[in-house]
Amino acid sequence: MARRMNYICDIFHLRADIGGCDWRVYIAGRKDKRKMQRLEWIAPCHFGLEAVLKREITDLGYEIASVEDGRVTFYGGRDALARANIFIRTAERIMLKVGSFRAETFDELYEGTKALSWEEYLPVDAKFWVTKAATNKSKLFSASDIQSVVKKAVVDKLKQRYHVEWFREDGAEYPIRIFLFKDIVTVAIDTSGTSLHKRGYRQLMGKAPISETLAAALILLTPWKADRLLVDPFCGSGTFPIEAAMIGAGIAPGVNREFIAEQWGNIAPKKVWYDAVTEAQDGVRQDVEMHIQGYDLDGEIVKCAMRNAAEAGVEQYIHFQQRDMRELSSPKKYGFIITNPPYGERLEEKRDLPKLYREIGASFDRLDTWSKFIITSYEDAEKYLGRKATKNRKIYNGMIRSYFYQYMGPKPPKKRENTEPAG
């Protein structure tokens, strides 16, 4: 509520400022701003999950520009700055694309960067720096040198445009990111700041937690709906159950966190953020009923998961319990299992994996009408689970190659409508 009231105050002051100035100056400024209405945005994601992210962006009403490995680029107006950050569940961050060009030498990198219209994105008091440079299959490969050259090019361009020799850099922050692939340079400004996988609810974590964005993407890859029972028998700090509950309740993942671009008044006014937050709050399903369960052998981790669920505002939808996976059973049919079991980081743990995965397979066999989904980097998982997966999707969890095994159960029968006359 405090965040919402701040936006209302900002809008009030904006209207007061307009009322005290020449309206013709204001209208001229609005015409200049309309030139930037169609902007290009970049959303990186985990490798193998581009299709899920593309669907999310399309559902928000934006036009897809391109889909590449680990990245989706799309077109959208200024509202995309706020709506993409607040609503998208599967992207790691949202970036505003400044431009792209070919560069095989540092001179070409400098000239290409300087030729971009930086004055349209960076005000004279902007605090800007090159926070990351990534390169792949390109002649330029030194990240630190790339960062230095790009920073110098931006400074020189802004000196020409603003007719100054020195920048205070005491205004809003604009972190610049550079990507080189096959000598094509893509220049963007990070709008998110802290990665989008940090929703803000996971204060406590167990061992080897799965990220929030990856968990959400895997859930969205399944046909699970809020009216179907969902169980995670290796829940850890509760990421799968919590993300599922947020999806089922229509809770936008970024509604309760802050973003670095909230201070970018030159790109989008505060009202854009206020409208997006209001849209997110209006979209919450207050009357939804869900049955989600999370189990773990470690009682302390279960308590941690319960606290995280409370922080996310979904504790009423999830039942956490200290329970052995081998005790997994349910009288209900057509449920879902979505889980991330241990995959053996250390050598002594790897020796126990065949036995563990046989036990998982035995538990699955008892739930013959259920659909089961497992993400693991254990390459022999399918062998010891005892059955071939309906689908097997390769996904990179950071630098770790993982497999998303999908065992589809039968569809529940359709509910029959009562067609007999009353009485």
Residue 280: inside a domain: no
Domain of residue 92 covers 2-190
Task: Kindly give, in sequence order, each residue whose CB lies less than 8 Å from that of residue 336, ignoring residues fewer than 6 positions away.
Answer: 222, 224, 228, 229, 230, 231, 370, 371, 372, 373
Are β-strands 71-76 and 173-181 bridged in parallel, bridged antiparallel, or unpaired? unpaired
Residue 14: inside a domain: yes
Residue 35: inside a domain: yes
Domain co-membership, 228 together with 303 = yes
Domain co-membership, 332 together with 394 = yes
Domain co-membership, 305 together with 220 = yes
Domain co-membership, 376 together with 233 = yes
Residue 196: inside a domain: no
Domain co-membership, 223 together with 143 = no
| CATH classification at residue 238 | 3.40.50.150
Residue 226: inside a domain: yes
pTM for the model: 0.87
Within 143-257, strands assigned E span: 173-181, 184-190, 230-232
In degrees, rounded to 5, the angle at the alpha carbon of residue 85 between the alpha carbons of residues 83 and 90 is 115
Domain co-membership, 133 together with 6 = yes
Q: List, for residues 256-277, the tens digit of each pLDDT value.
A: 999 999 999 999 999 999 999 9
Domain co-membership, 160 together with 298 = no
Residue 422: inside a domain: no
| Residue 268 pLDDT | 94
- Identify the burial level of 290 via C-beta atoms within 10 angstroms of its C-beta, where 0-12 means exposed, 13-18 middle and 19 or more buried: buried
| Residue 205 pLDDT | 66
Domain co-membership, 293 together with 150 = no
| Residue 423 pLDDT | 41
Instruction: Tell me which residues of the chain have a pLDDT lower than 70.
Output: 1-36, 204-208, 344-349, 416-423
Q: How many domains are contained in the chain?
A: 2
Which residue is associated with the tokens 């929030």?
212
| Residue 399 pLDDT | 81
Return the sign of the alpha-carbon dihedral for residues 375, 378, 383, 388. Answer: positive
Task: Kindly give, in sequence order, each residue whose CB lies less than 8 Å from that of residue 228, ignoring residues fewer than 6 positions away.
Answer: 334, 335, 336
| CATH classification at residue 14 | 3.30.2130.30
DSSP state, residue 8: H
Q: List, for residues 159-194, the tens digit of each pLDDT value.
A: 999 999 999 999 999 999 999 999 999 999 999 999
Domain co-membership, 182 together with 58 = yes
Residue 276: inside a domain: no
Domain co-membership, 174 together with 66 = yes
Q: Could you give the CA distance from residue 270 to residue 407 in angstroms, rounded to a whole number?
A: 46
Are β-strands 39-44 and 71-76 bridged in parallel, bridged antiparallel, or unpaired? antiparallel
User: How many Cα atoms occupy the beta-carbon half-sphere of 125 within 13 Å?
Assistant: 7
